[in-house]
Copies of this chain bind each other. A is one copy, B any other.
Amino acid sequence: MGGDAAPDAVVGGAAIARERHPGLRFLLVGDQQAITPILSRHAELKDAVELRHTEVAVKSTDRPSQALRQGRQSSMRLAIDAVARGEANGIVSAGNTGALMAMSRFVLKAMPGIDRPAICSFLPTQRGESAMLDLGANVACDKDNLIQFAIMGAAFVRTVLGLPRPSVGLLNVGEEEMKGNEAVQAAAALLKDTDLPLRFHGFIEGDDIAKGTTDVVVTDGFSGNVALKAMEGTSKLYSQFLRTAFSQSMLSKLGYLLAKPAMNALRQRVDPRHHNGGVFLGLNGISVKSHGGTDAVGYATAIGLAVDMAADNLISRISADMDHFVGHDQQQDQAAAN
């Protein structure tokens, strides 16, 4: 029931996702009266959907704490409960981000060894796409948080993009070793010596995000959120400038018409619907946040992320990497003590 276009976009997204993953089944949680008429227009979903009725829905203006206390019968909470009980392999929601994060964390709990779950998402780059985390779950992070983000982000990219050994960069204000704050310096020192299934690239700078210098970009939730939104703002600025430029004269309007197929291809590459889905990493269950303003196409992208994560068993991958890193770390401590 969350997002600007629910439940239409949700049902439409499910239909698109099922074309891509024919075995896929859905547990739709929400207001039966609102959902049934939409479902009746999607005959192809008939055997793939179970509907669980509730009239309660978390509002976009609810505070996370409020949603936690008062939202026990909300569609969001019932869907997360279904994941916790193993009735569903993951939840996808376009609703209130803070509430989804708080409820997911409360119900699914952080994985052993993960101090702070993080929000991770794909961004378009010159090379294709890169995953960035944390995008806003944790405003202050220490070295351990950053290392855990690196491990989770790399496992996510291995799972979803199928890269066997993704490169990981740590966002900083310069590439030199002495740059930045204590947390990034300590995290870099520890990540340099791991034998995890990732290549630690070292420090990267803000412009490396869009360059695609590394497959994974690790940063604290404050800088990550600011950077993500700053980049979105610049994209919009450019789009506005382009619109203005093309509508300036008859000639430029004609030029636009001729270049339109190419411009559409451009639009396709930066279309946020194809990068939709913020994933909460570090929980004992799959929870994906879709953008609230997206449509069925965008919702299908978010569902696709959940499917990939479930199919490739992302959570046990992260768990194995964490065990490996902790074991390796302890061996080093042991060696240093001897």
Contact residues of A with B, CB < 8 Å? 124-126, 136, 139-140, 171, 173-174, 180-181, 205-211, 219, 221-223, 225-238, 240-242, 244-246, 248-249, 251-252, 254-263, 265-266, 269-270
CB <8 Å contact, B173 and A222 = yes
CB <8 Å contact, B227 and A226 = yes
CB <8 Å contact, A232 and B207 = yes
CB <8 Å contact, B266 and A262 = no
Residues of B near A228 (CB, < 8 A) are: 206
Least CB distance from A82 to B in Å reads 29
Given contacts A210-B234, A234-B235, A245-B263, 19 further A-B contacts (CB under 8 A): A126-B236, A126-B237, A180-B222, A205-B226, A205-B229, A207-B230, A209-B230, A209-B233, A210-B230, A211-B233, A234-B238, A242-B266, A245-B262, A246-B259, A248-B265, A255-B255, A255-B260, A256-B259, A259-B259
> A171 — nearest CB in chain B belongs to which residue?
B226
Q: Check A241/B261 contact, CB under 8 A, given A181-B222, A207-B229, A209-B233.
A: no
CB <8 Å contact, B219 and A206 = no
Residues of B near A136 (CB, < 8 A) are: 173-174
Q: Check A238/B240 contact, CB under 8 A, given A258-B252, A259-B245.
A: no
Q: Check A173/B139 contact, CB under 8 A, given A234-B234, A252-B259.
A: yes
Query: Can you list 21 residue pairs at the A/B interface with Cβ under 8 Å?
Result: A126-B240, A173-B222, A181-B222, A206-B228, A206-B229, A206-B231, A209-B230, A210-B233, A211-B237, A222-B223, A231-B233, A241-B269, A248-B261, A248-B265, A251-B261, A251-B262, A252-B263, A254-B258, A255-B256, A256-B259, A259-B259
Q: Check A237/B125 contact, CB under 8 A, given A181-B139, A225-B206, A258-B252.
A: yes
Residues of B near A219 (CB, < 8 A) are: 226
Residues of B near A270 (CB, < 8 A) are: 238, 241
B124, B211, B234, B254: the one within 8 Å of A231 (CB):
B234
Least CB distance from A36 to B in Å reads 36
* Residue of A125, A171, A174, A206 with highest tally of chain B CB at under 10 A: A206
Bound-state CA distance A297–B171 (Å) is: 32
Residues of B near A205 (CB, < 8 A) are: 225-226, 229
Q: Which 7 A-B pairs have the closest CB atoms?
A: A206-B229, A255-B259, A255-B258, A207-B233, A210-B233, A206-B230, A252-B262
B221, B238, B259: the one within 8 Å of A173 (CB):
B221
